Copies of this chain bind each other. A is one copy, B any other.
């Protein structure tokens, strides 16, 4: 997956001591996305805007805040996170590559 005609920020976003790293792009229509990698482990992220998480490499499991279901997502899959909520994402084995879109 590629994104054309974007503006890319050189400096990355580093979370959890570098276990989650992303670079920000702004698309031609002004939408903000982050291209990221999650190394094995389990991490909680809060949301302000709603997010679409697309898994473009590897796999993960995720639990949306306030729910009990742990849902597996493989490469090519995606999940939505409501605004002002959050999710716990768990990766085992290989790194998980994602595209996060802020909706």
What string of 1s and 0s marks CB contacts (under 8 Å) between A7-34 and chain B? 1111110100111010101000000000
Report Cα–Cα, A97/B13, bound state, in Å: 10
Pairs across A and B, CB under 8 Å, 10 listed: A2-B10, A3-B7, A8-B23, A8-B35, A10-B35, A10-B54, A10-B99, A11-B57, A12-B35, A14-B95
Rounded to whole Å, the gap between the CB of A90 and the closest CB of chain B is 16
What's the tally of chain A residues with a CB closer than 8 Å to chain B? 29
Residues of A within 8 A of B (CB): 1-12, 14, 17-19, 21, 23, 25, 35-37, 39, 54, 56-57, 95, 97, 99
| Chain A facing B: main interface SS | strand
Report Cα–Cα, A35/B10, bound state, in Å: 6
